[in-house]
């Protein structure tokens, strides 16, 4: 157990500072163990009271003051402090120890500063009342406002000692009226009740919500820090401040901070008065300033990282109240890690643990400049990050036309389907009102790196009328410009200014690492990740452009080419001919026409990858997905009939759609099933791969093809395809590895048998999650995942991050049994999880050889693969 587990972040760091001999006010920490026991039983654990007695006595000795002393009273602060920072979520009570008698002593000790003493007392009653006894805070606020109004002032400082003394009486009355008992005059009782209130605040609603959001375990509990009060509001030689040992926004070296003279910490937080830059402290109190700088350097040396601190100066004496490794922006995280590496403070492995894939991903998106406070008209699922501005267009074909004319467009649909692809490719961004993170729009958009907001159900899309209506009544017509933020899910009216990402410019080769400290840091740290990672990183790519970009981004091959994407656009009539074929000859003729097109596609992919492995997956979706929707065709045929127009082709299509209709197409005639039912289909694709390989060889381009069979559930399915493929390949003199996706649970459970017929496995975790959980991947996220997340059934969608216990278990079984049957089995993953940081760590642990993800995720996957390789040596990956 770490110090932080028991003492919380704040307590652990206070203890550490005390150990370093830094000026920390005396105090002690009640452990998280005690909190957990309290939360379990509703009572203090046995012996806690005695321990508090003991430590309080020590504290009193160190401070030279006693709690409750009428002449020189000790006051303490009682603060929460969990293992993971939960800013402002739990409670703090200051000035504990003040009573009707000790307040007089305090005034005496502060040189007769009665105003200060009464102000401190009224603050205690207010905080104690609200936090410990649930007295509504507004009652106290109203009384304070009334006192100020009576005095004709708007500032707290306008109230003198007499006013505050009267206010204390009012506060005490409020307390009694609400609780039915007087404000406790026994300081020890105040302390005990405060500690209990801090324990209980672990389970306050906002804390519970925050933990759920941040994936902080619910059973950690909080520690409680009891520390002697020091005061920054005792005059001009006192003050308080916050500081960072480096700039937390950019990572630049140097000391940054704010100072407020004659004030307490909460005044800084509340923004009651304006702070001054820390450097100004040098002119007011040079000694304290120099001491502070020395301490900050010492802290950075000790923690070997950016630290943030809170301090107070009480009558010229500097006190350190808190320190922790400071939060920072994504850019600062990279810059600081590289700087510390350069300075020899940390080694390269540790530098890798200081950054995350999520931070790198954040740095790769263009962003909106929101300084003009634009109006947000809707919010949806942040499906594919980025900032897109364009004219709203409600039809994919028109979107492609408008974009071809040079106008940026945002394609707006209720949901998208493969037919929309040309418009999706042409659009800057995609907005849908239905579907979740694994809907067609989301998956395709992420694959292309196109910004996408989906499932914005607050908007009503009327495709026919070419407009949508937002929840606030705003109507966006075709051609109106909108801005969508795929990182936050926000939709805005009008064109917001966009800032491009320097990191992407670097990957694209248009910005050199030397040109920008952030880019240099990314280059350095990613270079080390490449050196240490065991997992190879491939890309999911179906086009030359995607493949070429993936290579620029560092992909080591293609792990998934979805060949069905090559059946779209102008090739659709050929696919229709294939579906409508009534004789073997008609079918063979349609396939023969498709062959050269597929061959050309594969040639381009092989050229882009130039010898790196290219995994070509045979067609997966049901064929009727390539036909127009049933409703659309029915209307078309009915209209043609009513007008007496010829409808032969459409009627034939309609018959085919009706014949092939499936209630559950995801569980229907797709993947290997289709290949075994439609003669010649897979053979045409395999021939195209082989002929493309031959053509490339002739051009001197090295090729390394892999043929992958989708949706296999039984080894017999794979064997049937493999046999035909082997025969075809050998007749053409081409070698290719033949493997299978593992995406049906039965395949995972019979992986030992399936491995006999497979050179490689690639986990299709999208389908494996769909079929493992029984969740329809296109529907559930929008339908009820919000409720599931609220209920804590899972902390994150299993379509986003691998469900280690369930779906992950299927993966482990398949890896173990597959490798046992065939030790040289090459194993990867090509579902969406291949680009998800947490899942990549799982795949590393599970012993996979590679992950494959969309081109834009490749750098993130490289970084996380490196992080998972060094995580085994003990880093914190949270």
**Where do contacts with ligand PEP occur on this chain (CB under 6 A)?**
560, 562, 620, 743, 764-767, 830-831
Q: Could you count the other beta carbons within 10 Å of the beta carbon of residue 559?
A: 29
Residues 6+ positions from 203 with CB-CB distance below 8 Å? 39
Could you identify the residue written with the tokens 């109203």? 142
CA distance 96 to 228: 9
Q: Which of 192, 767, 803, 817 binds Mg ion (CB under 5 A)?
A: 767
Q: Rounded to an integer, what distance in angstroms lies between the CA atom of residue 420 and that of residue 4?
A: 52
H/E/C letters for each residue in 844-858?
Answer: HHHCCCEEEECHHHH
73, 239, 429, 764: which one contacts Mg ion (CB under 5 A)? 764
What is the SS3 assignment for 106? helix
Tokens read off for 345: 């403070």
Q: For this structure, is 55 an active site residue?
A: no
Question: Which CB sits closer to ligand PEP, 25 or 798?
Answer: 798
Please identify, using beta-carbon distances, which residue of 225 and 765 lies nearer to ligand PEP.
Answer: 765
562 binds, among Mg ion, ligand PEP, none (CB under 5 to 8 A by kind): ligand PEP
Tokens 């497979």 belong to 758
**Which positions from 224 through 253 interact with Mg ion, judged by CB under 5 A?**
none
Q: What are 350's strand-pairing partners? A: none
Binder of residue 416, out of ligand PEP, Mg ion, none (CB less than 5 to 8 A by kind) = none
Bridge partners of 409?
391
Going by C-alpha positions, the residue among 678, 676, 735 that lies closest to residue 710 is 676
C-alpha R_g of the chain: 33
Strand 307-314 vs strand 381-384: parallel, antiparallel, or unpaired?
unpaired
Residue 743 beta carbon to Mg ion: minimum distance, rounded to whole angstroms = 5
What's the closest the beta carbon of residue 310 comes to ligand PEP, in angstroms?
A: 48
- Residue 830 binds which of ligand PEP, Mg ion, none (CB < 5-8 A, kind-dependent): ligand PEP
Question: Minimum distance between the CB of residue 836 and ligand PEP, rounded to whole angstroms?
Answer: 12
**Cα separations (Å) of 610 from 30, 158, 559, 693, 699?**
63, 77, 15, 11, 11
**What is the full DSSP assignment across 290-321?**
HHHHHHHHHHHHHHTS-EEEEEEEETTEEEEE
Per-residue interface string for the shown chain with Mg ion, residues 732-761, x marking contact by CB under 5 A:
-----------x------------------
Among Mg ion, ligand PEP, none, the one that 831 touches (CB under a kind-dependent 5 to 8 A) is ligand PEP
Of the residues 440, 528, 624, 841, only one is catalytic, namely: 440
For residue 461, what are the contacts with CB-CB under 8 A and spacing of at least 6? 394, 412, 413, 414, 432, 433, 468
Q: Is 133 a catalytic residue?
A: no
Query: 393, 412 in Cβ contact below 8 A?
Result: yes
Q: Burial level of 790, CB count in 10 A (0-12/13-18/19+)?
A: exposed
Parallel, antiparallel, or unpaired for β 481-485 and 387-393?
A: antiparallel
Question: What separation in angstroms does the CA of 791 have from each of 208, 780, 787?
Answer: 12, 15, 6
Q: Write phi, then psi, for 359 (nearest 5 degrees).
A: -65, -40
Of 478 and 743, nearer to Mg ion (C-beta) is 743
Q: Return the one option of ligand PEP, Mg ion, none that residue 705 interacts with (CB less than 5 to 8 A, by type).
A: none
For residues 409 and 426, the answer to whether their CB atoms sit within 8 Å is yes
Nearer to Mg ion, 222 or 769 (CB): 769
In the complex, the smallest distance separating the C-beta of residue 144 from ligand PEP, rounded to whole angstroms, is: 60
For residue 771, the minimal CB distance to ligand PEP (Å) is: 9
| Min dist. Cβ of residue 55 to Mg ion (A) | 60
Q: Are 68 and 188 in contact (CB under 8 A)?
A: yes
Nearer CB in complex with ligand PEP: 73/621 = 621
* Partner from Mg ion, ligand PEP, none binding residue 740, C-beta < 5-8 Å depending on class: none
Q: Which is nearer to ligand PEP, 268 or 827 (CB)?
A: 827
The bridge status of strand 451-454 relative to strand 253-261 is: unpaired
Smallest gap from Cβ 831 to ligand PEP, in A, equals: 3
Partner in contact with 437, chosen from ligand PEP, Mg ion, none, beta carbon below 5 to 8 Å by kind: none
* Nearest distance from C-beta of residue 666 to ligand PEP, angstroms: 9
Active-site residue, selected from the candidate residues 307, 452, 561, 830: 830
Q: How many residues bind Mg ion (CB under 5 A)?
A: 3
- Rounded distance, CA 392 to CA 854, Å? 26
**Cβ at position 799, least distance to ligand PEP in Å:** 10
**8 Å CB contact between 486 and 451:** yes
Nearer to ligand PEP (CB atom), residue 171 or residue 763: 763
Q: Are 128 and 147 in contact (CB under 8 A)?
A: no
To the nearest whole angstrom, how small is the minimum distance from the Cβ of residue 604 to ligand PEP?
A: 20
Between 165 and 562, CB nearer to ligand PEP: 562
User: How far does Cα 768 stand from its chain's mean position?
Assistant: 23
Residue 324 binds which entry of Mg ion, ligand PEP, none, with Cβ cut-offs from 5 to 8 Å by kind? Answer: none
Contact 827, 706 (CB under 8 A): no
Residue 786 has which token pair? 């919000």
* CA distance linking residue 136 with residue 399, whole number of Å: 56
The nearer residue to ligand PEP, 8 or 764, going by C-beta atoms, is 764
Pick from 379, 375, 408: which is nearest to 392 by CA?
Answer: 408
The dihedrals phi and psi of 570, each to the nearest 5 degrees, come to -70, -10
Handedness of CA 861, 865, 870, 874 (dihedral sign): positive
User: Could you say which of ligand PEP, Mg ion, none residue 386 binds, taking C-beta under 5 to 8 angstroms by partner kind?
Assistant: none
Cβ nearer to Mg ion, comparing 386 with 764: 764
From ligand PEP, Mg ion, none, which one binds at residue 864 (CB under 5 to 8 Å depending on kind)?
none
DSSP-assigned letter for residue 344: T
Say whether residue 564 binds Mg ion (CB under 5 A).
no
Q: Are 697 and 726 in contact (CB under 8 A)?
A: no
In this complex, which beta carbon is closest to ligand PEP, that of residue 198 or of residue 830? 830
Give min distance, CB of 718 to Mg ion, in A: 15
- CA 353/CA 301 separation, integer angstroms: 18
Burial of 439 (0-12, 13-18, 19+ CB in 10 A): buried
Closer by beta carbon to ligand PEP, 334 or else 760: 760
Least distance from C-beta 614 to ligand PEP, angstroms? 15
Catalytic positions, please?
A: 440, 830
Interacting residues with Mg ion (CB under 5 A) = 743, 764, 767
């Amino acid at each position: 157990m770490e110090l932080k587990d028991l003492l919380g972040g704040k307590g652990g760091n206070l203890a550490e500072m005390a150990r370093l001999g830094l000026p920390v006010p005396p105090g002690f920490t009640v452990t998280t163990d005690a909190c957990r026991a309290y939360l379990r039983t509703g009572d203090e654990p046995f012996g806690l009271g005695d321990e508090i007695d003991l430590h309080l006595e020590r504290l009193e000795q160190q401070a030279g003051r006693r709690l409750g002393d009428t002449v020189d009273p000790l006051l303490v602060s009682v603060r929460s402090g969990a293992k993971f920072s939960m800013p402002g979520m739990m409670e703090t009570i200051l000035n504990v120890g003040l009573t009707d008698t000790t307040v007089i002593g305090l005034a005496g000790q502060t040189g007769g500063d009665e105003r200060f003493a009464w102000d401190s007392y009224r603050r205690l009653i207010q905080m104690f009342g609200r936090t410990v006894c649930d007295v509504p805070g507004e009652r106290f606020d109203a009384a304070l406002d009334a006192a100020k109004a009576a005095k004709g002032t708007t500032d707290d400082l306008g109230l003198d000692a007499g006013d505050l003394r009267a206010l204390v009486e009012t506060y005490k009355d409020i307390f009694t009226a609400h609780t039915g008992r007087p404000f406790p005059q026994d300081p020890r009782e105040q302390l005990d009740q405060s500690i209990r209130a801090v324990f209980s605040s672990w389970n306050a609603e906002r804390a519970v919500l925050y933990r759920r959001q941040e994936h902080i375990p619910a059973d950690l509990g909080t520690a409680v820090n009891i520390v002697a009060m020091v005061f920054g509001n005792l005059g001009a030689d006192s003050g308080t401040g916050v500081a960072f040992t480096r700039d937390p926004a950019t990572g630049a070296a140097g000391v940054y901070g704010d100072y407020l003279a004659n004030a307490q910490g909460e005044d800084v937080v509340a923004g009651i008065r304006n702070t001054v830059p820390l450097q100004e402290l040098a002119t007011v109190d040079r000694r304290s300033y120099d001491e502070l700088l020395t301490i900050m350097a010492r802290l950075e040396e000790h923690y070997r990282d950016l630290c943030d601190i809170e301090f107070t100066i009480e009558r010229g004496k500097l006190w350190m109240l808190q320190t922790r490794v400071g939060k920072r922006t994504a850019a600062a995280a990279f810059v600081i890690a590289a700087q510390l590496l350069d300075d020899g403070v940390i080694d390269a492995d540790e530098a890798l643990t200081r950054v995350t894939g999520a931070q790198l991903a954040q740095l790769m998106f263009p962003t909106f400049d929101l300084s003009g406070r634009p109006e947000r008209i809707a919010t949806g699922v942040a499906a594919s990050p980025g900032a897109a501005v364009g004219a709203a267009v409600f039809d994919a074909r028109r979107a492609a036309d408008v974009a071809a004319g040079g106008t940026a467009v945002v394609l707006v649909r209720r949901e998208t389907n493969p037919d929309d692809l040309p418009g999706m490719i042409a659009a800057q961004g995609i907005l849908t009102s239905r579907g979740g993170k694994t809907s067609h729009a989301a998956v395709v958009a992420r694959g292309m790196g196109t910004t996408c907001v989906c499932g914005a159900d607050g908007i009503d899309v009327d495709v026919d009328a070419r407009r949508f209506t937002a929840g606030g009544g705003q109507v966006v017509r075709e051609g109106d410009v909108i801005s969508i933020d795929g990182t936050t899910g926000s939709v805005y009216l009008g064109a917001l200014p966009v800032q491009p990402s320097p990191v992407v410019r670097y990957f694209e080769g248009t910005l050199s690492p030397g040109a920008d400290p952030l880019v240099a840091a990314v280059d350095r740290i990613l270079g080390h990740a490449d050196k240490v990672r065991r997992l190879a990183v491939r890309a999911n790519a179906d086009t030359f452009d995607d493949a070429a970009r993936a290579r620029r981004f560092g992909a080591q091959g293609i792990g998934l080419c979805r060949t069905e994407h090559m059946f779209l656009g102008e090739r659709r009539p050929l696919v229709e001919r294939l579906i409508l074929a009534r004789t073997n000859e008609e079918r063979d003729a349609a396939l023969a026409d498709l062959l050269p097109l597929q061959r050309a596609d594969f040639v381009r992919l092989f050229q882009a990858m130039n010898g790196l492995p290219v995994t070509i997956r045979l067609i997966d979706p049901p064929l009727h997905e390539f036909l127009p929707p049933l409703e659309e065709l029915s209307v078309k045929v009915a209209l043609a009939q009513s007008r007496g127009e010829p409808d032969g082709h459409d009627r034939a299509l309609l018959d085919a759609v009706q014949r092939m209709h499936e209630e559950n197409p995801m569980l229907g005639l797709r993947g290997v099933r289709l290949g075994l039912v439609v003669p010649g289909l897979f053979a045409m694709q395999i021939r195209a791969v082989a002929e493309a390989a031959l053509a490339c060889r002739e051009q001197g381009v090295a090729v390394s093809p892999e043929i992958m069979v989708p949706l296999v559930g039984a080894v017999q399915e794979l064997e049937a395809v493999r046999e035909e493929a082997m025969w075809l390949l050998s007749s053409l003199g081409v070698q290719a590895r033949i493997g299978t996706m593992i995406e049906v649970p039965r395949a995972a459970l019979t992986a030992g048998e399936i491995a006999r017929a497979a050179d490689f496995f690639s986990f299709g975790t999208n389908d494996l999650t769909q079929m493992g959980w029984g969740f329809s991947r296109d529907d559930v996220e929008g339908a009820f995942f919000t409720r599931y997340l609220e209920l804590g059934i899972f902390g994150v969608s299993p379509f986003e991050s691998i469900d280690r216990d369930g779906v992950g278990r299927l993966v482990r079984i398949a890896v173990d049994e597959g490798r046992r049957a065939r030790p040289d089995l090459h194993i990867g993953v090509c579902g969406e999880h291949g680009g998800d940081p947490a899942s990549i760590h799982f795949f590393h642990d599970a012993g996979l050889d590679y992950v494959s993800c969309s081109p834009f995720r490749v750098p993130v996957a490289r970084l996380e693969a490196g992080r998972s390789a060094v995580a085994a040596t003990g880093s914190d990956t949270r």
